[in-house]
């Protein structure tokens, strides 16, 4: 890539068989499933454990109970997805779910048991108890165990604090990526035969989110710039219940609380979910989040409340220790008090289009985990199907790469050229635009949309894109600038997708097109 000029460039060129960008559950499991014969670079822009995976609470869905069956798990997933999921992909995921749980257990994940049986909980959309979990810190346990296993492998080199900027494309194939080493502030080339994007979702495009800071849509933006097909990005999932407290940043109150009987109520104690859906608190997330949004707007409330205090206090502490302890730090005792909650952006259902092996339409490029669109979530993801998707498709992606004979010759990349850019004295522009993008997305492209609001957002994002492009051409690259570029790109794709869908379906609700059309079609950008 020829960018103008001298700082920020490095002649450092790494060569690996496989580059995996992202150390969430998708990236770690991909690395572990690749052949030990392959040299692997595993890169994370932040701490190795940081990412949505670490914060997953509820668990992973799998048919593990004799009274449950694959057909029902498939049917629940398809029904939650409102006609847009790919049945073949869903069946593949569901049928491989028990083996995914076994792989995690082999890595050391201690799922919660009742005697010898898994303790299975439930969440919205599931008609059986089928969610395995490690109390309410499933993601943390998965991440710690997978990373421990990765560290024991001699063929995997870890790069912590390295942020990928763009894919390296040569002769219409992906040959690795340009990656900013945040410790030296220099851009290094990673030249590889296969590249796996496992960069997670894009919920940080919204001002309020359950996600950690890593979810800035980097993989989706990079892939889009490289010509990959991006599918169904209008389906941004809002989790109904994030803790509402001025000092609580992004803390989720698991849907498993509702799975175990938790009730939502208004400030005056009145319950309301039954008026919206016969499944009440266990309706799929799109329904519950819209119901809360509607009650908050019509009643002028800052939040609604979730109550589990009627359960035995020791049982609550045993099943939800993380939530209990976190709420306690804010003076809320969930064994006695209702929890103040609001919806927040939680999950990106769309993403880079892939086949069942994670292959994208760009040769040598794979995408796995939340960054990918495999077809399993359609217009709404069912709870606890995401970690499952990460593990199942990480395994199939690695299997596909293991089958191939990789070249022994590496292509010589041009070093990153930064000879005509300067250090910025205007960093405030970047932080200002970050905030502006996220506010626009929250206010105009949120839970309930309209054509007018979407068009306003489109127009303003076009102006911001011009401002960011100009900044990018003048100043040295930085981590914040990289993420801002990606936030803008991903937001534009979400808006374009939302504008092109002239109906309401699943997570996409547009008051100018409130009906669901008879024909279900994917949005491809
Ligand atoms: P992540 O875990 O988000 O990892 C992304 C990785 O990519 C990170 O290592 C990050 O540093 C790296 N990265 C990103 N961009 C770059 C870049 N440019 N360069 C280098 N590295 C980069 N799902 C369930 O199924 N069950 C649950 O119970 C559940 N609970 C959840 C609770 C919370 C609070 C949240 C936020 C999500 C939850 N989800 C749950 C969703 C699920 O956790 C995520 O969808 C899933 O973990 C995503 O995994 P991933 O590996 O794709 O991405
Ligand atoms: C939760 O525990 O509520 C999150 C589950 C999910 O996102 O699948």
Can you name the residues that pair with 372 across neighbouring β-strands? 352
SS3 category, 156: strand
According to the model, what pLDDT value does residue 116 have? 87
Nearest to 281 by CA among 260, 265, 258: 258
Q: Domain 427-500 classified CATH 1.20.58.100? A: yes
Query: Which of 150-154, 191-195, 244-248 bottoms out in mean pLDDT, i.e. has the lowest?
Result: 244-248
SS3 category, 106: helix
Give 195 Cα–ligand 2 centroid separation in angstroms: 29
| H/E segment holding residue 208 | none
Catalytic, out of 3, 258, 285, 449: 285
pLDDT at residue 129 is higher than 70: yes
Ligand 2: which atom is nearest the Cα of residue 384? 8
Instruction: Indicate if ligand 1 lies below 6 Å from the C-beta of 139.
Output: yes
Ligand 1: which atom is nearest the Cα of residue 251? 34
According to the model, what pLDDT value does residue 228 have? 98
**Assigned token pair, 399:** 């299997």
Estimate the crossing angle of helix 70-80 against helix 87-95, to 10 degrees.
Answer: 140
Comma-separated ranges of CATH 1.20.58.100 domains in the chain = 427-500
According to the model, what pLDDT value does residue 2 have? 44
Give 281 Cα–ligand 2 centroid separation in angstroms: 14
Instruction: Indicate if ligand 2 lies below 6 Å from the C-beta of 386.
Output: yes
CA distance 302 to 246: 11
The domain defined by 236-344 folds into: Flavocytochrome C3; Chain A, domain 1 (3.90.700)
Average pLDDT over residues 32-47: 98
Instruction: Indicate if ligand 2 lies below 6 Å from the C-beta of 57.
Output: yes
Name which CATH class applies to 9-234+349-402: alpha beta
Q: Do residues 488 and 461 lie in contact, with contact meaning Cβ atoms separated by under 8 Å?
A: yes
* Burial (Cβ within 10 Å: 0-12, 13-18, ≥19) of residue 486: buried
Ligand 2: which atom is nearest the Cα of residue 136? 2
Q: Cα–Cα distances in Å, from 234 out to 54, 348, 445, 510?
A: 25, 9, 9, 11
Confidence of residue 12 (pLDDT cuts 50, 70, 90): confident
Give 55 Cα–ligand 1 centroid separation in angstroms: 8
285 catalytic per annotation:
yes
Nearest to 343 by CA among 475, 500, 444, 238: 238
According to the model, what pLDDT value does residue 68 have? 96
Report pTM: 0.95
According to the model, what pLDDT value does residue 5 have? 47
Comma-separated ranges of CATH 3.50.50.60 domains in the chain = 9-234+349-402
According to the model, what pLDDT value does residue 465 have? 98
Confidence of residue 9 (pLDDT cuts 50, 70, 90): low
pLDDT at residue 331 is higher than 70: yes
- What rounded mean pLDDT belongs to the chain? 95
pLDDT at residue 273 is higher than 90: yes
Kindly report the number of other CB atoms within 10 A of residue 421's CB atom. 20
Ligand 2: which atom is nearest the Cα of residue 58? 2
According to the model, what pLDDT value does residue 1 have? 45
pLDDT tens for 418-464 read 888 888 878 899 999 999 999 999 999 999 999 999 999 999 999 99
CA within 13 Å, CB half, 174: 29
Query: Among the residues of 309-450, which ranges form H helices?
Result: 313-319, 321-329, 386-402, 427-444
Q: Which ligand is nearest to the CA of 124?
A: 2
Give 94 Cα–ligand 2 centroid separation in angstroms: 17
Give 402 Cα–ligand 2 centroid separation in angstroms: 32
Number of continuous H segments (helices) and E segments (strands) in the chain: 15, 18
Confidence of residue 285 (pLDDT cuts 50, 70, 90): confident
According to the model, what pLDDT value does residue 7 have? 54
Closest Cα to atom 7, ligand 2: which residue? 383
According to the model, what pLDDT value does residue 427 have? 85
């Amino acid at each position: 890539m020829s960018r103008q000029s001298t700082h920020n460039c490095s002649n450092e060129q790494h060569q690996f068989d496989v580059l995996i960008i992202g150390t969430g559950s998708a990236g770690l499991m991909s690395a572990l499933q690749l052949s030990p014969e392959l040299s692997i670079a595993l890169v994370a822009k932040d701490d190795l454990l940081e990412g949505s995976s670490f914060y997953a609470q509820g668990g992973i869905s799998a048919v593990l109970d004799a009274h449950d069956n694959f057909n029902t798990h498939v049917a629940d997933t398809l029904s939650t997805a409102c006609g847009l999921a790919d049945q073949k992909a869903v069946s593949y995921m569901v049928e491989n779910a028990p083996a995914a749980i076994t792989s995690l257990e082999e890595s050391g994940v201690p799922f919660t048991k009742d005697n010898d049986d898994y303790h299975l909980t439930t969440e919205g959309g599931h008609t059986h108890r089928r969610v395995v979990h490690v109390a309410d810190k499933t993601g943390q346990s998965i991440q710690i165990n997978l990373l421990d296993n990765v560290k024991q492998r001699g063929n995997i080199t870890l790069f912590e604090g390295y942020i990928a900027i763009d894919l390296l494309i040569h002769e219409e194939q992906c040959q690795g990526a340009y990656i900013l080493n945040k410790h030296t502030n220099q851009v290094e080339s990673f030249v590889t035969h296969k590249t796996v994007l496992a960069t997670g979702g894009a919920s940080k495009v919204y001002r309020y989110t359950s996600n950690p800071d890593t979810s800035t849509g980097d993989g989706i933006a990079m892939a889009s710039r490289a010509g990959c097909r991006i599918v169904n990005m209008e389906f941004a999932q809002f989790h109904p219940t994030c803790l509402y407290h001025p000092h609580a940043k992004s803390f989720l109150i698991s849907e498993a609380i509702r799975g175990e009987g938790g009730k939502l109520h208004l400030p005056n104690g009145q319950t309301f979910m039954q008026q919206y859906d016969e499944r009440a608190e266990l309706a799929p997330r799109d329904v519950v989040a819209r119901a809360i949004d509607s009650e908050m707007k019509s009643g002028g409330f800052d939040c609604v409340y979730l109550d589990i205090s009627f359960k035995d206090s020791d049982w609550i502490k045993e099943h939800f220790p993380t939530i209990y302890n976190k709420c306690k730090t804010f003076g809320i005792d969930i064994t006695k008090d209702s929890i103040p909650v609001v919806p927040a952006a939680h999950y990106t259902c769309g993403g880079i289009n892939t086949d069942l092996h994670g292959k994208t339409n760009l040769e040598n490029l794979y995408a796995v985990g939340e960054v990918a669109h495999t077809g399993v979530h359609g217009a709404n993801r069912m709870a606890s199907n995401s970690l499952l998707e990460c593990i199942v498709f990480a395994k199939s992606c690695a299997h596909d790469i293991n089958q191939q004979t990789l070249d022994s010759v590496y292509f010589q990349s041009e070093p990153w050229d930064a000879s005509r850019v300067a250090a910025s004295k205007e960093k405030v522009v970047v932080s200002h635009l970050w905030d502006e993008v996220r506010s626009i997305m929250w206010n105009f492209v949120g839970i309930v949309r309209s054509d007018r609001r979407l068009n306003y957002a489109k127009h303003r994002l076009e102006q911001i894109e011009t401002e960011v492009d100009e900044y990018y051409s003048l100043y040295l690259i930085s981590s914040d600038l990289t993420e801002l570029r990606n936030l803008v790109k991903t937001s534009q794709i979400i808006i374009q997708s939302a504008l092109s869908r002239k109906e309401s379906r699943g997570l996409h609700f547009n008051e100018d097109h409130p009906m669901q059309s008879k024909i279900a079609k994917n949005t491809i950008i």
